[in-house]
Structure 1
Amino acid sequence: MDGPVKIPYESFIEIDRNSETSIYMQIANQLINAIQRGFLPYGTKLPGTRAFSEVLEIHRNTAVAVYDELSAQGWVESLPNKGTFIIGENQEKPVKVKDFEKDNLQNYPETTGFSFKTSNILDNPFEHSDCQYVFNDGVPDIRLTQIGQHSRFYSSILRRKSNQKMLGHYNHDGSEFFKEHLSHYLNLSRGLPISKNNLLITRSTEMSIYIVSEILLSAGDTVLVGALSYFSVNMIFQKAGVNILSLPIDEEGIIVEHVREACKKQKIRMLYLTPHHHYPTTVALSAQRRLELLDLAHEYGFIILEDDYDYEFHYDKSPILPLASADTKGMVIYIGSFGKSLAPGFRTGFIVAPENLMVEMRKYLGIIDRQGDILMERALGEMIEEGEIHRYLKKSLKVYQERRDHFAELLKENLDEYIQFQKPSGGLAFWLEWKVPVNLMQLSRNCAQNNLFIPKTLLYQRKDLTAMRLGFGNLNFEEMEKSIEILSGQVKKLL
């Protein structure tokens, strides 16, 4: 066994004297790391505390504290008149001094030592860029949010002694106060005659759809979606092992006759819809088709999963009420987000469904989100109760409508000969279809070289379609003008 003087402790023990962790614990942790990785094998004799302190240039009392910590954790034992030795299983081939390399001790393994399933279904499709100007698929402008005021709601709730006891409890069922006010809010704004017992509070739309998929879908089921649909949702469906059948859409949304024909040919488990503004084309599902789909769902027994991702954003007229508001047979599951116009930390998702399904959903939520965020939900409930949500929405909608109108003018002025579009009645994005053949990926790369980022998730190109979904909500007038200037300039160069 190598003697203590041969082991270069100073080569693999680093001391950070500015760290909040005490020096003796820093050293003890690094020695334990060396023992665990076999660099200090069974029976290795450690130097005396005086010699150890001299090697590391520390006080002897610190060295004593290191050895006491190692002994307390069961890594070493001190034998009278013999010294301090590493405890462990006897090794036939002890590690030699030459194997002590600093990198070997500090580096985390690059790969696992076991095999596991991999899947490209859930590969992150989102891209990021350092470009000054960015198009997205339609998200609010965080600069418009009154973060200070929202924070005051949260801080006020946190300071109340009556609320502090909530911090010590798990509550995946969410805040009863928030659910009470949210159910009332949805009743008034969306015509949903529900109570708090019909609500499940989630972190996001994606979490909502995941829970629904886990409970209601089985491998081999068939799910209907629009011929163009939300990619993240499709990924969740694919992970569930279902068969996704894409059906055509037109200017009134999904074509009901194609849904009927699909039902006649095979058993359909679910129809996924974004009827308020179809993703990505932004068209609204007509009132007549909504009624027809409800009748079909009842006739053939399939579930309608209604995703109302941007119901809060409407400009020219009152929004069409959700399918769920007219559902009397319990065929519709309604999901949405609350506070989308607020700062990201103040947003939440929700599911509306009959109570018997809600019982099962709460079981799943209790597994994946046991803690919840009851204080944030309390803050959101108070924002509803005090009318803060209504005031903020009214103010922000005026800004977004002005941005929508300005964006439409810029598109006509700069790209009218190349594209066609309909100004959306709501939402935060435009759907542009190209009248001329253009390589969208090449256009995106060229724009990125000129400080405008257009993610590939916004590009739709196939043999019969060349289109883009461009969000405007996050851009002020100046940013819009510069972005469209770059886009139109690169289009002209490419064509």
Structure 2
Amino acid sequence: MDSPVEIPYQGFIKINRNSEVSVYLQISNQLINAIQRGFLPFGTKLPGTRTMSRILSVHRNTAVSVYDELFAQGWVESFPNRGTFVIGKNETRPSGMKTPEQKHLENYPKQAGFSFRTSNILDNPFERSPCEYIFNDGIPDIRLTQIDQQSRIYSSTLKRKAHKIGQYSQDGSEFFKHHLSKYLNLTRGLPISKNNLLITRSMEMSIYIVSEILLSEGDTVLVGELSYFSVNMIFQKAGVQIRSVPIDGEGINVEEVRAICHRQKIRMLYLTPHHHYPTTVTLSAQRRLELLQLAQEFGFIILEDDYDYDFHYEKSPILPLASADSNGMVVYTGSFGKSLAPGFRTGFIVAPENLMAEMRKYLGIIDRQGDILMEHVLGEMIAEGEISRYLKKSLKVYQERRDRFAVLLQENLGSFLRFEKPSGGLAVWLDWQVPVNLMQLARNCARNNLFIPKTLLYQNKNLTAMRLGFGNLNTDEMEKSMEIFSESVKETL
């Protein structure tokens, strides 16, 4: 048995006197760590409190508090006239335990000691860059969100009503669902009640829950020939077969969908009909009706993702397919509060009540606590008209940015590419009319302080295109970014 004074306590007990954690807890936690990892084996005698205080240069009362903490947590026991010992029946060092002479107390393990499944399907596709200017795929500008005012509303609700909100369950805030269902009825023509709503943290969570319940390994899911990569990752993880369908100026090719349905069983069709991702094309009214008829005829689910419904400019947006669904074939997902600060945004699913009951079971597993306070705040913002005011203000700014972005594109690169000024959303689809290596173009832009993520680049033997967001750029940033972009294009050609 090691003598208590031979163990190099100073070597593995480090005290940070600027830490918010009290000194005695720092010491006791590190001693417990040493016991758990075999540095202080069962039966080790600890120095007396006077000796320990001298070794660690702390007050004796601190050492006393350390031993009291170890005793309270059941790591040591004291015997009169004998001392304090690490609790354990084995009085010898267990086989394989490291001695102080062999190795100091190591850090947390770098690798798991067991095998586990890995998946490259879920590798993070998003990149980061130190560049000052960034083109994204259509993300709102956080600087327009009036976060101070939103924070005041949150704080006021917390003070006034937190005690009245009650306990959260997987059903979420009934208050929020009631007002959100009315809001969706008025703005998107969805004739629903709160019983048709599931509140989630994001669009991705919504799609994940839908795929877990409605898809089985080997099912076939149809997506646009160009589709949202995050959703495709979720589908691939579910083990389904993904088939792509061509997209044209009116959206997805319905005749091709029909032809595929005649050849094989289709479980689901995933759509972003308001503004197809990434091309921003709006699905025509006639094709919407045809798809609803096909879904009823062949029994496939339509998963409608309305990721940017709130952002429309010259005219009223086309209503979702779900608003015209009378046969229960459409599951509708969307986001709420994209014009607000990031912490105030949420996702939701709209579906028939029997399917909603099953979805709540899954939500109860992955997000049982939720954020009932935030949901209550959002419900109040709907009831008081704050959401509509925020959206109206931001839409005016985003429309001005869209118009300016279109002018800059035409002036600087009009001879190299073709694009349509989008009727809504926060991104533009660029179809290149000249041969250009998009990866090389992105590298040239990065050298000049403009970052273009690879997820915005679409290039194969039949297509050279990009999706560029404008919503996050003010006028000065937009002009500087376009200057870098156009110069990099000429350098790449």
TM-score normalised by L of structure 1: 0.97
1:81 Cα shift?
A: 2.3
**Superposition pairs for residues 113-192 of structure 1, below 5 Å?**
113-160=113-160, 162-166=161-165, 169-192=167-190
- Give the match for residue 303 of structure 1: 301
Q: Which letter maps to 2:119? A: S
Query: Are the aligned partners of 2:246 and 2:253 in contact in 1 as well (CA < 8 Å)?
Result: yes
Counterpart CA distance in 2 for 1:472 and 1:92 is: 64
CA deviation string 1:382-403 (max 9, x = no partner): 1111111122212211111111
Amino acid at match of 2:54: E
Aligned with 2:302: secondary structure?
strand
Structure 2 partner of 1:441: 439
1:99 match = 102
Deviation, 1:22, is 1.9
Q: Is the 8 A contact 1:39 1:99 kept in 2?
A: no
Q: Does 1:256 align with 2:259?
A: no
Distance 1:71 1:382 in 2: 51
SS of corresponding position for 2:150: helix
Note closer, same or farther for the CA distance 1:92–1:394 as it changes in structure 2 (3 Å cut). Answer: closer
Q: What SS class does the counterpart of residue 101 from structure 2 fall into?
A: helix
The Cα offsets for residues 121-151 of structure 1, whole Å up to 9 and x where unpaired, read as 1111111111110000001111111112212
Say which is worse superposed, 2-11 or 456-465, in terms of deviation. Answer: 2-11
After superposing the two structures, state which structure 1 stretch, 292-301 or 63-72, moved more: 63-72
Structure 2 CA distance for aligned equivalents of residues 367 and 259 of structure 1: 35
Distance 1:357 1:380 in 2: 25
Distance 1:44 1:255, change over 3 A: same
Whether 1:217 aligns to 2:210 is no
State the partner residue of 1:30: 30
Tell me, in whole angstroms, the C-alpha distance in 1 between the residues paired with 2:168 and 2:443. Answer: 48
Q: Which runs of 5+ in 2 are unaligned?
A: none
Task: Give the CA deviation at 1:89.
Answer: 4.8
Where does residue 313 of structure 1 map in the other structure?
311
Measure, in 1, the Cα distance between the counterparts of 2:363 and 2:333.
Answer: 15
Paired position in structure 1 for 2:460: 462
Do the aligned residues in 2 keep the contact of 1:2 with 1:97 (CA within 8 Å)? Answer: no
- Aligned-partner Cα distance in 1 for 2:58–2:232: 59
Deviates more, 1:172-181 or 1:135-144: 172-181
Q: Deviations over 1:142-167 (max 9, x none)?
A: 1111112212221121111x432536
Are the structure 2 counterparts of residues 88 and 254 from structure 1 closer, same or farther at C-alpha, using a change threshold of 3 Å?
same
Q: Distance in 2 between matches of 1:250 and 1:194?
A: 32
Cα contact 2:41–2:94 (8 A) shared by 1: no
**Aligned partner letter, 1:166:** I
How do residues 379-458 of structure 1 correspond to structure 2 at under 5 angstroms?
A: 379-458=377-456
Q: CA deviation at 1:42?
A: 2.0
Alpha-carbon spacing, 1:89–1:399, altered in 2? closer, same or farther (3 Å) = same
Contact 1:41 1:95 (8 Å CA) reproduced: no
Report what 1:228 is aligned to.
Answer: 226
Q: Give the secondary-structure state (helix, strand or coil) at the position aligned to 1:58.
A: coil
- Point out the more displaced range, 39-48 or 352-361: 39-48
Find the counterpart in structure 2 of residue 238 from structure 1: 236
Tell whether 2:340 aligns with 1:337: no
2:284 paired residue number: 286
- Spell out, residue by residue over 1:224-243, the C-alpha distance to the aligned partner (whole angstroms, 9 max, x if none): 00000000000010111100
Question: Which residue matches 1:361?
Answer: 359
**Cα distance between partner residues in 1 of 2:323 and 2:44:** 74
Cα distance in 2 for partners of 1:384, 1:235 equals: 33
Query: If the length of structure 2 is used for normalisation, what is the TM-score?
Result: 0.97
SS where residue 431 of structure 1 aligns? strand
2:480 is matched with which residue? 482
Q: Give the SS at the match of 1:97.
A: coil
Letter aligned with residue 99 of structure 1:
Q
RMSD between aligned residues: 1.3
Equivalent AA in structure 1 for residue 69 of structure 2: E
In 2 relative to 1, CA 34–183 (structure 1 residues): closer, same or farther, beyond 3 Å? same
CA distance in 2, matches of 1:392, 1:328: 33
- Identity percentage of aligned residues: 77
Change (3 A) 1:92 1:289: closer
